[in-house]
Chains A and B, each alone.
Chain A
Amino acid sequence: MSDGNPFRCFQGRFLRDVILIALAILALTLLGRRFNPGTAPRLAIAVVHALLMAWFVVMTMLTIRRLDELMLKIHLEAIAISFTVTGALIAGWGMLEPAGAPRIDWSVFAWPLMAVLWTVAVMIRRRQYR
């Protein structure tokens, strides 16, 4: 991996698993839309969806705990920034929607937005320690 990769400190396996989980969640979301709400297949898909999200959280925590102290500091700061900015954006957009802004399904977009902000924040913080 290149030296500019902000997640170089993470194992390649983690990044591969994150991509696979993201693809599975996307596929399940699209598949779930084919069934009416309240039907058994739709509920089953929703359960699998939730289990995948739970696995993502556990995997992320386990990976972060294996980082050394500087990387841990960088990543925790980046997560705090991404969490705060995402929360502020969702709340801000929630106030804009009644005023006519287009409706956004945050259950789909919140995680990718957090991931992008996390990556950007890690890149910026890592440069400062280089």
Chain B
Amino acid sequence: MTNHVRELRSERDWSQGALAEQLGVSRQTVNAIETGKYDPSLPLAFKIAALFDLAIEDVFEPDDKPKRRPATPAGERGKR
């Protein structure tokens, strides 16, 4: 999983320690997330996204993005 935490944090001119404090985690955890060594839990990922006022998919991306299927129209559902 890749993420944009470092860029987002830098844009806001926050230190790792300041971000860690707002998230209620250690500075090492923020550093490990930024360097991609640790993937946060879903609740923490949502917390990070909420702090940056973004959707979770704007902050975190899977390494190999699955191709999105075109949305199935409601009337088509269930048909083979």
Contact status A68-B32, CB under 8 Å: no
How many residues of chain A have a CB within 8 Å of chain B?
A: 9
Contact status B44-A129, CB under 8 Å: no
Given A128-B37, A129-B37, A129-B38, answer yes or no on A68-B25 (Cβ-Cβ < 8 Å): yes
Contacts of A68 in B (CB 8 A): 24-26, 29
B31 at the interface (CB under 8 A from A): yes
How many residues of chain B have a CB within 8 Å of chain A?
A: 12
Contact status A126-B28, CB under 8 Å: yes
Q: Once the chains are docked, how many angstroms separate the CA of A130 from the CA of B38?
A: 10
Partner of B40, one of A69, A126, A129, A130: A69
A9 at the interface (CB under 8 A from B): yes
Q: Once the chains are docked, how many angstroms separate the CA of A130 from the CA of B28?
A: 7
Nearest-CB residue, chain B, relative to A73: B38
> Which residues of chain B from 10 to 34 have any CB-CB distance to chain A below 8 Å in the complex?
24-26, 28-29, 31-32
Contacts of B38 in A (CB 8 A): 70, 129
Contacts of B32 in A (CB 8 A): 70, 129-130
Contacts of A129 in B (CB 8 A): 28, 31-32, 37-38
Q: How far is the CB of A127 from chain B (nearest CB, A)?
A: 11
User: 25 A–B contact pairs at CB < 8 A?
Assistant: A9-B26, A68-B24, A68-B25, A68-B26, A69-B29, A69-B40, A69-B41, A69-B44, A70-B25, A70-B26, A70-B28, A70-B29, A70-B32, A70-B38, A71-B29, A126-B28, A128-B37, A129-B28, A129-B31, A129-B32, A129-B37, A129-B38, A130-B28, A130-B31, A130-B32
Which residues in A have some Cβ–Cβ distance to B below 8 Å?
9, 68-71, 126, 128-130
